[in-house]
A = this chain, B = another copy of it.
Amino acid sequence: MAAQTVASTTNSVDLGPAAALSCRECGHRVPLGPVFACEECFGPLEIAYDFSAYDTEDLRKRIEAGPANIWRYAPLLPVPADVADKPNINPGWTQLVKADNLARELGVTGGLYIKDDSGNPTHSFKDRVVAQAIEAARAFNFTTLSCSSTGNLAGAVGAAAARAGFRSCVFIPHDLEQAKVVMAAVYGGELVGIEGNYDDVNRFCSELIGDPAGEGWGFVNVNLRPYYAEGSKTLAYEICEQLGWQLPDQLVVPIASGSQLTKIDKGLQELIKLGLVEDRPYKIFGAQAEGCSPVSVAYKAGHDVVRPQKPNTIAKSLAIGNPADGPYVLDIARRTGGAVEDVNDEQVVDAIKLLARTEGIFAETAGGVTVGVTRKLIENGVLDPTKTTVVLNTGDGLKTLDAVAGTGLTATIRPNLDSFREAGLA
């Protein structure tokens, strides 16, 4: 059925430079459509682009003259050329913060940067991927947007669907942080709690997609996944452009499904091939929480396959026990000379506080994971402190307040100087 859908929509689909879908495993190509698995080998489908017409300097100028959001990179994304004129939440062009105070504490001398994606409209990197899925959903005439989510994605889908005029129905584990639940619900779509963890939610969505009840639904991270996933490339583009069109030496990226890390690598490779950055080695490091570390465990054991885990960590946005792109992450970490490491929940909280105290950035637990792993990798001599290093913060501390709930008032006083002095504050 999927193949027929593709055949019937191909001629009318305008997704810019996206030329086809191509299997990451066997290279089999199919026309653009709402499909995600190869009909030959069941490998994941990715977007294949036609960038052949681009002149490097023209492209650079076009990007630099573009809007202060991800659509400045529209020529490199599966979106129509007039994407910026359509209703979307226009994420991206978030701050790349030169983290000199943190660098001093960690002993980094080669330049340390935080790519702070808490500045996106719903305050996580998920806005980047959902913005792509919205354009694909438009192209394939879906009217309902759906997803399985650990929380951030639910909010991003709810917000983007509202802006773009889609109905939404999203599925989350029933026990998420209150802030994420309210934020996902406030946009007025359906929000369904599933009794189980993220992997249960994900399996349920795969079932629903094959059922008549799910017909006409665009699941941003299932049948729209090839389009959706490309949004993470924009992190790579922005980091390089913000560094003055240069590759960083080292990147520290969180791992949930592994898709983000994989697509950041894809984005860097594209910039090299397009001549937008000079080709030189870079290392990608993956970061997990100890309570959900299937990729880190596989990396350290020297395995090529990832053995699923049952997650138990405060870093719920990374709590995917069976990460789809785990094997690709292992390959990229090894090929680039990076590594995969994990930190425990206490180290996550310490890292959140460290980043806040030094740089005034209040990160979600996922940001605590990347900063904590960066510190650990430096201490273990794995990450080179004399090299330019970019650490991703993919979410916002306001969504995981419980992690730092012990933080509060230093003192409570009456509104007079005597009380101020009594409290030892003078």
A425 contacts the other chain (CB 8 A): yes
Q: Are A416 and B181 in contact (CB under 8 A)?
A: no
Q: A183-B362, A196-B414 are in contact. List 5 more A-B contacts (CB 8 A).
A: A123-B123, A192-B409, A192-B413, A192-B425, A204-B420
Query: In the docked arrangement, what's the CA distance between A106 and B397, Å?
Result: 34
- CB-CB under 8 A from A421, the residues of chain B are 213
Q: Give chain B nearest CB distance to A66 CB in angstroms.
A: 11
Give A148's nearest chain B residue, CB to CB: B415
Q: Give chain B nearest CB distance to A206 CB in angstroms.
A: 11
Report which of B122, B194, B207, B213 forms a contact with A413, defined as CB distance below 8 A: B194
A361 contacts the other chain (CB 8 A): yes
Query: In the docked arrangement, what's the CA distance between A196 and B414, Å?
Result: 7
Binds B, one of A135-143, A159-167, A262-270, A378-386: A159-167
- CB-CB under 8 A from A159, the residues of chain B are 356, 360-362
Task: Tell me which residues from 193 to 220 in chain A have a Cβ below 8 Å from any Cβ of chain B.
Answer: 193-196, 200-201, 203-204, 207-208, 211, 213
Map CB proximity to B onto A14-52 as digits: 1 under 8 Å, 0 otherwise.
Answer: 000000000000000000000000000000000000000
- CB-CB under 8 A from A312, the residues of chain B are none
Please name 23 pairs of A and B residues whose Cβ atoms are closer than 8 Å in the assembled complex, sorted by A: A119-B119, A119-B121, A121-B360, A123-B123, A162-B356, A179-B401, A181-B409, A182-B408, A185-B409, A186-B353, A187-B357, A187-B362, A192-B409, A192-B411, A192-B413, A193-B412, A194-B414, A195-B414, A203-B415, A204-B420, A207-B417, A213-B420, A213-B421
Q: Are A417 and B208 in contact (CB under 8 A)?
A: yes
A279 contacts the other chain (CB 8 A): no
Q: Are B122 and A100 in contact (CB under 8 A)?
A: no
A371 contacts the other chain (CB 8 A): no
Q: Give chain B nearest CB distance to A162 CB in angstroms.
A: 4
A4 contacts the other chain (CB 8 A): no
Interface centre among A183, A186, A192 (most CB of B within 10 A): A186
Query: In the docked arrangement, what's the CA distance between A258 and B405, Å?
Result: 33
Copies assembled: 2
Q: Give chain B nearest CB distance to A201 CB in angstroms.
A: 7
Q: Give chain B nearest CB distance to A81 CB in angstroms.
A: 19
Task: Tell me which residues from 202 to 254 in chain A have a Cβ below 8 Å from any Cβ of chain B.
Answer: 203-204, 207-208, 211, 213
Q: Are A404 and B213 in contact (CB under 8 A)?
A: no
Report which of B119, B122, B196, B404 forms a contact with A186, defined as CB distance below 8 A: B404
Query: In the docked arrangement, what's the CA distance between A407 and B183, Å?
Result: 9
In the complex with contacts A87-B100, A183-B362, A408-B182, A357-B188 CB distance below 8 A: yes
A325 contacts the other chain (CB 8 A): no
In the complex with contacts A119-B119, A121-B119, A201-B415, A191-B409 CB distance below 8 A: yes
